[in-house]
A = this chain, B = another copy of it.
Amino acid sequence: MEEKRYLPHIAYDSVIFGFSGNQLKILIMKYHNTGLFALPGGFVKIDEDLNAAVRRGLKERTGLDNIYLEQFYTFGDVSRYQPEAMKTILEANGHDVPENHWMLDRFISIAYYALINFEKVVPTPDALSDSCDWYSLNKLPALMQDHQLIVEKALQTLRDNLERKLVGVNLLSPLFTMNDLQKVYEAILGEKLRRTTFQRKMLSLNILQRHDKQYSGKAHKAPYLYSFKQETLI
């Protein structure tokens, strides 16, 4: 990681949402020998588009291309500047850290959230971390710096966008039941929804393609499987 290849003072953080066990989860990194937890993030190369840098990072953490991605806020308070934490991380990794190391500078961070299919992800730590794992939103460890705030703002933005954007598409497998979809909405909104109203609403949007039934082996009526209609995908 050569200093001259990255724009100084500029970082990004990504809140990567997945859905599993009826819960929203996000990817969290744990740094070597420090007990420090953080959002996956990175830096922007001198000749690289900001969005491309974030996609590059996402690919490294998840193995996935073509991820649904939204930029939602840029955090630029001076209080973010906590060089001790970064120094701890670098030293715990055996780096000799000069006083003027570029990673100890003040950074502003452009924050993104991503929506991905939980099943398809292979969480992968980077050189400084020994784990990259899923955590439920209500069981997050204490996070570095203002990362807790970043997560909260990501969730708020996701909620605000829920009606305007096709959120379910990106968190589910291509085939899903109406109940699966409802669980996603409930996890995002943090509240129970009424089954019949939800079904009527979704069907009236005219974005779902109905397929064969899904026989679960349980003693009750089998639900239809659905996919999102091709033309509605972004």
B10–A108 CB distance below 8 A: yes
Q: How far is the CA of A73 from the CA of B71 in the complex (A)?
A: 7
Q: Determine whether A77 belongs to the interface, using a CB cutoff of 8 Å to chain B.
A: yes
Q: Determine whether A169 belongs to the interface, using a CB cutoff of 8 Å to chain B.
A: no
Q: Determine whether A49 belongs to the interface, using a CB cutoff of 8 Å to chain B.
A: yes
Closest B residue to A111 using CB positions: B74
Contact of A10 among B9, B75, B79 (CB under 8 A): B9
Q: Determine whether A78 belongs to the interface, using a CB cutoff of 8 Å to chain B.
A: yes
* A79 / chain B contacts, CB cutoff of 8 Å: 49
A78–B49 CB distance below 8 A: yes
Q: Determine whether A106 belongs to the interface, using a CB cutoff of 8 Å to chain B.
A: yes
Interface string of A76-104 (1 = CB under 8 A from B): 11110000000000000000000000000
Q: How far is the CA of A116 from the CA of B141 in the complex (A)?
A: 41
A50–B76 CB distance below 8 A: yes
Q: Taking beta carbons and an 8 Å cutoff, which residues of A are in contact with B?
A: 7-10, 44, 46-51, 71, 73-79, 106, 108, 110, 160, 164
Can you show 24 pairs from A to B with CB atoms below 8 A apart? A7-B106, A7-B108, A8-B8, A8-B9, A9-B10, A10-B10, A44-B76, A44-B108, A47-B78, A48-B78, A49-B76, A49-B77, A49-B78, A50-B74, A50-B75, A50-B77, A50-B108, A51-B76, A71-B73, A71-B74, A74-B74, A74-B110, A108-B110, A160-B164
